[in-house]
């Protein structure tokens, strides 16, 4: 008897031994078994879309039992902005940032307003204080106190009390200044050893003042008889030497006990008093630069042939360059210091003047 059996490989036929008979019950059970086997096969196979690559479906013709998915509707969705991405990323903190920024700005504004108000108040107080100071400040009228001796050394910068008594020649030379129809004077510029010129420009500043003063058309070169030329490597006609307080007294004398300068013909040296170079003179009402020009011109005047001093010749006029303006520009002041001198006590008062020829040639 032939029997058909359903297997995974398909239907196959087997032969049962002769004489084997199946009862109706066995036949019914056999059919039920075949049906269950088919259901098992049908249910066990993968559907379409199996995730097992390179393997066939158990029921290639069965198809997918799930209903097809309906197409999704097309939606017009905009790309998310930077602000949106920021909010999505930081959540509640995104809303806290602008709030904190606004609070910060307000605090800063309030602080600035408070400072401005305080500044106004302080400014009012300061103004009142400054006004009080201006009212109480002395008026600078250009005059020293009447009881101050005209020849005394005024207060001011520091100077060297005592140098070595020897001088160093400063390097440098100049072209001839002036016509020199009678004589061309050569000169050196020197600093006494031990004198520190740093506080008033250094050695070069002193030398420059001397050179520029002698070459000025209001100086002695306005007279065609004279000319000047600075040298540094030959014997000069005279030496312009910045000198300390005690050395000046040694070479110039101290009969009149006031700081002064001089020309000493014995050593052919114009001795410029350093304390006066630094501080000037009470009686000389010009600036310190004008006083230094006067000092050079007056002492060089002695060196070129003017030994005597002069007094004020025109009341309220310019003082002669050979007047001792360090001690006073009033004849009475000079006469009081040197009663036996050439200057009469006639009441004439001149104005300071640093030049031999103040109006030029």
Other CB atoms within a 10 A radius of the CB of residue 255 amount to: 8
Q: What is the mean pLDDT of residues 196-201?
A: 96
Cα–Cα distance, 270 to 345 (Å, whole number):
29
pLDDT digits (tens, 9 = 90+) for 293-330: 999 999 999 999 999 999 999 999 999 999 999 999 99
Asked whether the beta carbons of 207 and 201 are under 8 A apart, the reply is no
pLDDT digits (tens, 9 = 90+) for 64-109: 455 555 555 555 555 556 666 666 666 666 566 666 777 677 667 6
DSSP-derived pairing of the beta strands 269-273 and 238-243: parallel
Buried b (16+ CB within 10 A) or exposed e, 195-204: bebeebeebe
* CATH number for the domain whose boundaries are 167-304: 3.40.390
What per-residue confidence (pLDDT) applies to 95?
A: 62
Q: What is the mean pLDDT of residues 281-300?
A: 95
What per-residue confidence (pLDDT) applies to 256?
A: 87
User: Bridge-partner residues for 239, per DSSP?
Assistant: 188, 269
What per-residue confidence (pLDDT) applies to 315?
A: 96
Annotated domain spans of the chain: 167-304
């Amino acid at each position: 008897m032939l029997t058909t059996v359903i297997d995974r490989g398909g239907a196959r036929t087997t032969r049962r031994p002769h004489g084997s008979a199946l009862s109706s019950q066995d036949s019914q059970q056999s059919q039920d078994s075949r049906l269950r086997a088919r259901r098992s096969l049908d249910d066990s196979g993968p559907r379409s879309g199996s995730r097992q690559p390179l393997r066939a479906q158990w029921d290639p013709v069965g198809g997918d039992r799930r209903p097809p998915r309906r197409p999704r509707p097309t939606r017009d969705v905009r790309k998310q902005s930077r602000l949106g991405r920021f909010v999505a990323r930081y959540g509640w903190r995104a809303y806290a940032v602008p709030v904190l920024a606004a609070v910060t700005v307000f605090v800063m504004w309030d602080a600035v307003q408070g400072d401005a108000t305080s500044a106004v108040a302080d400014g009012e107080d300061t103004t009142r204080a400054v006004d009080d100071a201006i009212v109480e400040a002395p008026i600078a009228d250009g005059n020293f106190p009447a009881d101050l001796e005209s020849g005394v050394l005024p207060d001011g910068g520091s100077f060297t009390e005592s140098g070595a008594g020897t001088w160093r020649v400063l390097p440098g030379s100049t072209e001839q200044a002036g016509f020199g129809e009678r004589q061309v004077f050569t000169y050196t510029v020197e600093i006494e050893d031990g004198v520190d010129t740093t506080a008033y420009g250094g050695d070069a500043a002193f030398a420059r003042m001397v050179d520029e003063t002698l070459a000025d058309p209001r100086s002695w070169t306005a007279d065609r008889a004279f000319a000047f030329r600075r040298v540094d490597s030959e014997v000069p006609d005279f030496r312009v030497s910045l000198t300390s307080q005690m050395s000046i007294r040694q070479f110039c004398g101290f009969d009149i006990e006031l700081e002064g300068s001089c020309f000493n013909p014995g050593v052919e040296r114009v001795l410029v008093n350093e304390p006066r170079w630094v501080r000037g003179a009470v009686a000389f009402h010009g600036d310190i630069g004008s006083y230094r020009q006067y000092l050079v011109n007056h002492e060089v005047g002695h060196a070129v042939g003017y030994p005597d001093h002069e007094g004020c010749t025109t009341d309220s006029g310019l003082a002669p360059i050979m007047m001792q303006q360090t001690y006073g520009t009033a004849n009475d002041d000079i006469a009081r210091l040197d009663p036996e001198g050439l200057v009469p006590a006639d009441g004439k008062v001149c104005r300071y003047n640093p030049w031999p020829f103040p109006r030029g040639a």
